[in-house]
Structures are given as structure tokens and as C-alpha cells.
Amino acid sequence: MHPNLTVIGHPLVQHKLTIMRKKSTSSGKFRRLAGEIAMLLAYEVTRDLPLSLEKIETPLETMDAPVLKGRELVLVSILRAGNGILDGMLRLIPAAHVGHIGLYRDPKTLVAVEYYCKLPPKIEERDVIIVDPMLATGHSAVAAIERVLERKPKSLRFVCLLAAPEGVKFVHDHFPNVPIYTAALDRALNEKKYIVPGLGDAGDRMFGTM
Ligand code: URA
């Protein structure tokens, strides 16, 4: 139904996500689970990265062994909730370079307004993954994708924990070629533009600012 959308149905991801959704889950546990799911998402989203061969010496022989090809990846976190995913992904991809884009949603127009942007150099030589836990209306995602595409990355993917169909459509109406990876595609957005059934405000739950 949504081309270029991958829902990561791995049982560990689904189980951890269910615990995150529960309103009784504490902030500390929510943060830890976000980090754990992020590692599993990182594993899936990097599945097709190209490899090259490097000559190495094992204790027994010389061999041509596979290593990731090209420059380090770039992870771009959409502040602030993206940082809860970023940390987990960095545990799996520690050499990645990191960018941050600060966006807030104008409460009247719902348009994403940028207040901060710092991206690493040489993006044109790197594969980029934008991370944000919630793909709701898609306005922040589109604003972040626009900003990164201005710098002409080698490739660009978007990773989230939860997506709403409206957000996926909005992103792909603007950028049909940007693959989206999510742990679940929920039913819809409610009148306040929260994802339902969802998990609430990801940033507030992650940082205990409810
Ligand atoms: N942002 C959140 O944190 N939660 C939602 O449900 C939607 C946007």
C-alpha cells in the first residue's frame, strides 16, 4: 500500500514497542527500550550497505575480508526526540558522523519551523539516515529531508519508531524516493495530530517532561 515503506516486524522490535506504548512504562524504561529498538532498526536499515574487501592478517593466514565501503555514515537527529534513537544507533554504528536539526511545530499552522541546523561536512560523499521517533503529520520529516537534500547526500533514508499513514503519504508526496523504515504503521492521527493508538509524546516520555 505504501511503496518505499519498510515495517520492521521483528518479534523483538514488536515486543519492545508494546512495552513502550503502555502508559504505565516509566521514563527510564521508555528511554532504554527506545535505545534497544534503535539498535535493531539500525541493523535493518543498513542491511544493503555496500562492502569492499580489505587485506588483513588473521593469526593463521592473510585474507580479503569485507569492510563497509566508503566514508562513514551520517546520522541526523531531529531534535529533541530523535536523540533517543540516535544514541542506540550510534552504539551499533559508532563511527557515524552526526548532524542535528532543531524543528518545532507552529501550533497554528502546524508548519515545521527550523531553529537549529548543524550537519557534518562532505555529506555529498556519505549515506545519510535521518532519525525521529514519530512520523506524524510529516511536516518535520519533510523539512529535515529538504535541508539534507540541499547538501546532496549519496543516499538518504528516514527511520522512525512509529508512523501514521498521513505522515508516510506526506513525505512520499514530496519525496517518493526516500525510503522510510518504521517499527509500526499505526491507524491514524487524532484531532491533536497525535499518532493513535501511538505511544503519546515521545520526547516527553523519553525525557520525563510530561
Ligand atoms: N509526536 C509525538 O511525540 N507523538 C505523536 O503521537 C505525534 C507526534
Q: What is the pTM of this model?
A: 0.94
47 CB burial (10 A radius; 0-12, 13-18, 19+): exposed
Nearest residue to 198 via CA among 114, 133, 123, 128? 133
Of 208, 151, 206, 172, give the one whose Cα is nearest residue 33. 206
Atom of ligand 1 nearest to the CA of 202: 3
Catalytic residues: 105, 109, 201, 204
Q: Ligand 1 centre from 194 Cα, in Å?
A: 5
What residues are in contact with ligand 1 under a 6 Å CB criterion? Answer: 134, 136, 194-195, 198, 201-203
Euclidean distance between CA atoms 8 and 28, whole angstroms: 24
Nearest CA to ligand 1 atom 7: 194
How far apart are alpha carbons 35 and 90 in whole angstroms? 9
Mutate to test the pocket of ligand 1, among 78, 161, 195, 206 (most ligand atoms within 8 A of CB): 195
What gap in Å lies between CA 44 and CA 195, rounded to an integer?
23
pLDDT of residue 210: 83
- 187-200 residue pLDDT tens: 999 999 999 999 99
Name the nearest CA neighbour of 37 among 84, 97, 101.
Answer: 84
**In this predicted structure, what is the pLDDT of residue 104?**
86
Q: Return the ligand 1 atom nearest residue 205 CA.
A: 3
3-class DSSP state of 206: helix
Extract the C-alpha cell encoding 158.
Answer: 528516514
Is 179 within 8 Å of 151 (Cβ atoms)?
no
Give the per-residue pLDDT at 71. Answer: 84
Q: How many helices (H) and strands (E) does the chain have?
A: 6, 12
Residue pair 145/131 in contact (Cβ under 8 Å)? The answer is no
Nearest protein Cα to ligand 1, atom 2: 201
What confidence tens digit (pLDDT) does each residue in 98-121 have? 999 999 878 777 788 999 999 999
Q: Which of 58-62, 87-91, 101-105 has the lowest mean pLDDT?
A: 101-105
